[in-house]
Structure 1
Amino acid sequence: MRKILVVGAGQSGLQLALGLQSNGYEVTLMSNRTADEIRSGRVMSTQCMFDTALQHERDLQLNFWESQAPRIEGLGVSVAAPGSHDPGPTQRAIDWVGRLNGYAQSVDQRVKMAGWMETFAQRGGQLVIHGAAVGDLDYFSRAYDLVLVAAGKGELVSMFARDPERSPYSEPQRALAVSYVHGLGPRPEHPDFDAVRCNVVPGVGELFVMPTLTTSGRADILFWEGIPGGPLDAFGGVKDPAEHLSLTLELMEKFTPWEYARATKVELTDAGGTLAGRYAPTVRTPVGRLPGGGLVLGVADVVVANDPITGQGSNSAAKCAAAYLGSILEREDKPFDEEWMRATFDRYWATAQHVTKWTNAMLAPPPEHVLNLLGAAGGLQPVADRFANGFDDPADFENFFYEPERTQAYLASVAGA
């Protein structure tokens, strides 16, 4: 029986640990917090998992909350009319919703990670509650056939060198502010199904609104992505959760009044229901070298960390865990050497590269042909639907998004159909 150590108990670490465990591997999972500490702590993320990522969970029978979480059947885009937010009410230049081929879902990671961690322990997995340092891994690496680092923050990430060719940004491109709330009303124009809402305020930032399942049941996430130094970059010194929500709503009233109109009665789900921060989108080399000469393999956002503007973090983590699981199972009893590690990462990068390219493009001001595409989606439902389903399969954006010629040819083909 091969022994594998997984460091980090997020989406990718837990999914991989549970997948390996179900295939007969002897798995040790290291987490810096207990399941109870995770469940009662602060929210860790926003997340909206699309159909492909959800299927990876179903394949491992880990979709414990599928019947409880809201079914997200659409993805809407609104773009504020230029200059309309200063002064006076904001108008929408663009407003549409695309229908997803398979529904998406969001489960608060406090619920999911705590539940999965308890499942891992109940199934006989070795769970070690300990914040790992590089020195710990140096010791552990000699006792395990493979060490996987899935802890996306802290000292361990420094073992993996930044890949400058794949990392165009060296600074954070957005300041992030999250609130989990109860009491949000429906969008009046589409009250009959749940959708994620992406509201773009050019030159200012984005507001995402998504239904979720949290520790206290159904809720919604209000998520500001502000251009650094701009009016949304205002949460840095805010420590009080009530003040954080108040500021979130104040900015909604100013920049996205159509979303604020349904948020006048919201309250935080709990005292841990807010989060603020920022990080630079970075791709790193996948193999870390320990002081004693051992090698470790980086997982998910340890090696590919994108800005959450395209909602890909948990999707990418699920896809990475699925790709790595496949590579480990195929390796059978052969050594997990550096060549295998690099090939395993390349298997994941085949999909991740499309996420990185698209996300980095969305962080920049949209070129004219992209604005034309978003505008056309308001009158051409197939365009809206295809854009929405690109969140599930970002590789499709290669066919109609990046190059003006392809965008024009696609729009002409739809308009002529």
Structure 2
Amino acid sequence: MTSQSSALRSTRTAAVIGAGQTGVTAALGLLDAGFDVTLYSDRDQRALRDDVPATGTALEFGETQQAESALGLDTFTGRAPRHTGLSVRIAGPAGEELIGFDGHFDGYAGVAVDTRLKADERLTAFLERGGRFAVEPVTPERLDTIAAATDLTLVATGRGGLSDLFPIDEARTVYARPQRSLLTVTVTGLGFGPDVFAHRSRAGGAHSGFSIFAEQGEAWWGPYLHKDAGPSWAFLGWARPGSEWEKRFAAADSAESAHSIVQQLYRDHIDWDLPEVLSTRTIAEDPHSWLKGAVRPVVRAGVGHTASGHAVAALGDTATAYDPIAGQGAQSGLIQAQRLVAAAAVHDGPFDAEWINRRYAEFLSARGDAANWVTRLFLGDPELAEIGGQLFATAAVDDRFASALVGLLHRPQSFLGVDSLDAAGTFVAEITGQDPAELLARFQPAGRFDRSAYNADEHSSLASR
């Protein structure tokens, strides 16, 4: 690690605009690589931690944890409750219970960490090591001044504000509007033992639960590390445009109302998980433990130019905004940050538009394009609908393929060439060693999913003894 004095002796300068987890990770990485770094935010450190909601669940798997380790950063795998698999249930247009499978993560575990906690700890380390933190709004005009005086400028402000400096990549951006309305809320009151969600998996609370409804949307529960409450659970729901779920989600205006909406949703649609959901409670000390909104999936150019022509680099959501259904946003942003830091550390020359474009093209090839393709699979994109039907049905038949399918959330690259039913069959055969048609012929609709027998009152009485 670079000490404060060595950071101050640096002859190369960097600026990072935006102090979310991706921006502060890049700033800390560049500081440790010997740059003189200034991090800009329109909020001070306390406000960043306590006055805003977390930006999603930020579930991360092995590749992202490796990127953080390469930067010498805490991956939180020793502090957060761990995800060791994903349990999936799929219902048809009339609510018929069709497909169920339980995939295990092979050789890695996931962790979902409050982005406010992670950013806060990294900002503290950044300041302790000699980084500069400027609390001020950065307008396009101010960015022009910053970029003129800085060797490398990264913009990590997310989907708003300065993102318009980066043209949309029309070839990679396939949606004109958001594909889902989102609702998330973080709760306590539920443990992580084998008795939790035991009807879904023998792993119980170590597996997150994902339910898909053809006409309504998707609902997910998973272990989470909250900045105040510590080990907890997070709900994340996706409502299809025009659905009844979308109307329900729109009514949320507080953590309490969001929680009530989610519990009623499970009473009406997802009763197989209802006992666990009813045992949860909101986090009183954090009024920002919920969020609603919508994300248009967009891929932008990796380089933008200020009014005076200075090249600046897009980072994280500023570069690529993913629908969070496949968990690729936080993961890809951190991987992109690590790759940029590693390349900048050894670069001897200007950080011009050519250099920035080359780094971004490498990232898209190594991760970004595959992450977008897998996200489209889980969104039920019409182009991938038949492929998805084949793959999800096969997962219900073959446990090995179920684990490989949920493993795409960790490493999406192997799915990039799966763009036809024949390619999907080849994908299945490579993983299972079996004839894909024979596997698919063995599929039978679930008929009725197992229901939870979780007894919240029993667990409360045991905890009080």
TM-score (norm 2): 0.84
Equivalenced residue count is 410
Residue 347 (1) aligns with residue 353 (2): no
- How far is 1:82 from its partner? 4.2
- How far is 1:293 from its partner? 2.1
Determine helix, strand or coil for the equivalent of 1:21: helix
Q: Which residue of 2 aligns with 1:287?
A: 303
Determine helix, strand or coil for the equivalent of 2:72: coil
Q: Which residue of 2 aligns with 1:16?
A: 26
Larger of the two Rg values belongs to structure = 2
Cα distance in 2 for residues equivalent to 1:174 and 1:304: 17
Render the CA deviation track for 1:205-242: whole Å, top value 9, x for unaligned: 11111111112111111111010111111233432321
The letter of the residue matching 2:354 is: E
Match of 1:132 among 127, 133, 138: 138
**Does the CA-based 8 Å contact 2:299-2:320 persist in structure 1?**
yes
**Does the CA-based 8 Å contact 2:173-2:298 persist in structure 1?**
yes
**Aligned residues: CA RMSD:** 1.9
Equivalent residues in 2 for 1:243-392, closer than 5 Å: 243-269=257-283, 270-332=286-348, 334-350=349-365, 351-363=367-379, 364-365=381-382, 367-392=385-410
Cα distance in 2 for residues equivalent to 1:110 and 1:230: 31
Cα distance in 1 for residues equivalent to 2:270 and 2:97: 9
Match of 2:222 among 210, 227, 243: 210
Q: Which residue of 2 aligns with 1:114?
A: 120
Cα distance in 1 for residues equivalent to 2:251 and 2:335: 35
Cα distance in 1 for residues equivalent to 2:302 and 2:221: 33
Identify which range, 368-377 or 145-154, moves more after superposition. Answer: 368-377
**Does the CA-based 8 Å contact 2:102-2:403 persist in structure 1?**
no
Q: Which residue of 2 aligns with 1:229?
A: 242
Cα distance in 2 for residues equivalent to 1:411 and 1:228: 32
Cα distance in 2 for residues equivalent to 1:152 and 1:18: 18
Residue 59 (1) aligns with residue 70 (2): yes
Residue 402 (1) aligns with residue 419 (2): yes
Cα distance in 2 for residues equivalent to 1:310 and 1:391: 6
Cα distance in 1 for residues equivalent to 2:224 and 2:357: 36
Render the CA deviation track for 1:369-416: whole Å, top value 9, x for unaligned: 4223212212311101111211111011136x4321132244456263
Determine helix, strand or coil for the equivalent of 2:171: helix
Cα distance in 2 for residues equivalent to 1:219 and 1:202: 29
- How far is 1:192 from its partner? 3.6
Q: Which residue of 1 aligns with 2:443?
A: none
**Does the CA-based 8 Å contact 1:77-1:197 persist in structure 2?**
yes
Q: Which residue of 1 aligns with 2:169?
A: 163
Cα distance in 2 for residues equivalent to 1:259 and 1:33: 39
**Does the CA-based 8 Å contact 1:323-1:347 persist in structure 2?**
no
Render the CA deviation track for 1:68-106: whole Å, top value 9, x for unaligned: 10121112221124413xxxxx63532323333211111
Identify which range, 221-230 or 183-192, moves more after superposition. Answer: 183-192
Determine helix, strand or coil for the equivalent of 1:221: strand
- How far is 1:170 from its partner? 1.1
Cα distance in 2 for residues equivalent to 1:66 and 1:390: 20
The letter of the residue matching 1:226 is: A
**Does the CA-based 8 Å contact 1:80-1:94 persist in structure 2?**
no
**Does the CA-based 8 Å contact 2:15-2:39 persist in structure 1?**
yes
**Does the CA-based 8 Å contact 1:288-1:295 persist in structure 2?**
yes
Q: Which residue of 1 aligns with 2:88?
A: 77
**% identical equivalent positions:** 27
Cα distance in 1 for residues equivalent to 2:428 and 2:309: 54
Determine helix, strand or coil for the equivalent of 1:276: strand
Cα distance in 2 for residues equivalent to 1:281 and 1:110: 23
**Does the CA-based 8 Å contact 1:179-1:221 persist in structure 2?**
yes
Identify which range, 9-18 or 221-230, moves more after superposition. Answer: 9-18
TM-score (norm 1): 0.93
Cα distance in 1 for residues equivalent to 2:143 and 2:386: 49
- How far is 1:109 from its partner? 0.6
**Does the CA-based 8 Å contact 1:177-1:277 persist in structure 2?**
yes
- How far is 1:145 from its partner? 0.8
**Does the CA-based 8 Å contact 2:303-2:311 persist in structure 1?**
yes
Distance change (3 Å), C-alpha of 1:299 and 1:155: same
Render the CA deviation track for 1:25-78: whole Å, top value 9, x for unaligned: 101111222222122132222211010101111222211633110121112221
Determine helix, strand or coil for the equivalent of 2:103: strand
Cα distance in 2 for residues equivalent to 1:141 and 1:409: 48
The letter of the residue matching 1:80 is: A
Give structure 1 stretches of 5+ with no counterpart.
Answer: 85-89
Match of 2:186 among 175, 180, 183: 180
- How far is 1:153 from its partner? 3.2
Match of 1:220 among 233, 252, 257: 233
Distance change (3 Å), C-alpha of 1:64 and 1:104: closer
Match of 2:208 among 196, 203, 210: 196
Cα distance in 1 for residues equivalent to 2:428 and 2:159: 42
